[in-house]
């Protein structure tokens, strides 16, 4: 069985503090690039992977398990919420191909269309998604630390019949609606305000907030399904990177042309260039954080399974041995440093 629960996980709290301290500190103090990158990425991965423990609860509910440990039987599926999204082997094999098509499509867009127009369209998309990502990160914080009124929940649910074939529209009726707390609404309003400011200013430190939120929510909500599927995905993306980064100019061109939170920026100096007025920056793509994060999250959930940590309720602060997670995270950090 799992070890005794602690009121909080000190390393998880340290990860939160590290993310905030580095984001604030690097705006005023020149932090060595390698130290900044390694500390920030490690903190993001540690926090995001622990948030992904919630997938164990969703997947257990999808199997029909209940908090009481009994089989849920053939009752209403909605009693346990929707099944967690799990990557299949076929999806893992297609991922590099789909990624290649998307990347090359962006390359052609920047090559044959006005760069400013392309970036404008993409900025609208990222700001819309960023509002939800910020709300997803900030909402639980407000609900846990704010007044009790922020924890009250509101919802709206309807069923809509449709005439479409099941292969096109899925099963009828459609079940639509939402369920959220007052804290989620406040966080979403704050996210919209933040993204509006980012849209008009494009400050690098605002970019980093969106990038960090995308990483945390992506790792939290995505499951590879199995070690084999994760290995297939990583091998495919290994060759994807070799071809598009070292074999062509496509990846570099898109990375330099795309003005959006697809990367985290690290200042090399705090003195703007006298000619351009810009800071010298280094960058790390979000894919270099999120894709390994999917795999690390899978290993952490495997550690929890081996340790006998119950699926209900999810507790990101529960103490249990994490040999696979810690060893793989250490290997990733060493690889990042080299």
- Among 77, 91, 259, 288, the one annotated catalytic: 288
- Among 77, 91, 241, 259, the one annotated catalytic: 241
Torsion of CA 118, 119, 125, 131, to 10 degrees: -170
Provide CB contacts within 8 A for 316, sequence distance 6+.
Answer: 9, 12, 50, 51, 53, 54
Helix axes 115-145, 250-257, angle to 10 degrees: 70
First to last CA, the chain: 38
For residue 132, give the nearest of 201, 182, 194, 224 by alpha carbon.
194
Largest CA distance in the chain: 69
Q: Any catalytic annotation for residue 241?
A: yes
Distance CA 265, CA 229 (A): 31
Print burial letters for 77-110: b (CB count within 10 Å at least 16), e (below 16).
eeebeeebebbeeeebeebbeebeeebeebbebb
Tell me if residue 297 falls in helix, strand or coil. Answer: helix
8-state DSSP, 3: P
Q: Which stretches does DSSP call E strand in the chain?
A: 153-160, 174-181, 263-267, 281-285
For residue 33, give the nearest of 216, 204, 263, 269 by alpha carbon.
269
Which residues are marked as active site?
241, 288
């Amino acid at each position: 069985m799992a070890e005794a629960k602690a009121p909080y996980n000190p390393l998880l709290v340290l990860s939160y503090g590290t993310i905030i301290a580095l984001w604030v500190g690097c705006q005023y103090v020149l932090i060595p690039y390698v130290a900044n990158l390694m500390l920030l990425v490690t903190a993001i991965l540690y926090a995001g992977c622990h948030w992904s423990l919630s997938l164990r609860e969703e997947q257990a509910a999808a199997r029909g398990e209940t908090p009481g440990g009994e089989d849920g039987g053939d009752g209403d599926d909605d009693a346990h919420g929707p099944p967690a999204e799990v990557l299949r082997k076929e999806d893992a094999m297609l991922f590099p191909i789909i990624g290649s098509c998307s990347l090359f499509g962006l390359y052609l867009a920047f090559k044959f269309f006005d760069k400013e127009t392309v970036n404008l369209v993409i900025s609208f998309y990222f700001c819309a998604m960023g509002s939800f990502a910020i709300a997803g990160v900030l909402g639980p914080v407000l609900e846990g630390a704010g007044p009790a009124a922020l924890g009250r929940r509101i919802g709206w649910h309807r069923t809509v019949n449709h005439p479409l074939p099941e292969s096109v529209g899925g099963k009828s009726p459609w079940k639509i609606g939402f369920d959220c707390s007052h804290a989620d609404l406040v966080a979403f309003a704050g996210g919209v305000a933040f993204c509006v400011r980012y849209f008009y200013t494009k400050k690098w430190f605002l970019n980093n907030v969106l990038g960090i939120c995308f990483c945390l929510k992506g790792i939290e909500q995505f499951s590879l399904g199995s070690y084999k599927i994760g290995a297939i995905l990583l091998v495919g993306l290994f060759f994807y990177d070799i071809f598009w980064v070292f074999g062509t100019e496509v990846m570099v061109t898109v990375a330099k042309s795309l003005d959006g939170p697809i990367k985290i920026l690290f200042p090399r100096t705090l003195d703007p260039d006298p000619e351009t007025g810009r800071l010298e920056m280094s960058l790390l793509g979000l894919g270099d954080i999120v894709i390994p994060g999917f795999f690390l999250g899978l290993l952490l959930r495997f550690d929890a399974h081996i340790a006998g940590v119950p699926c209900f309720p999810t507790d990101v602060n529960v103490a249990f041995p994490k040999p696979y997670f810690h060893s793989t995270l250490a290997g990733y950090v060493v690889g990042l440093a080299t």
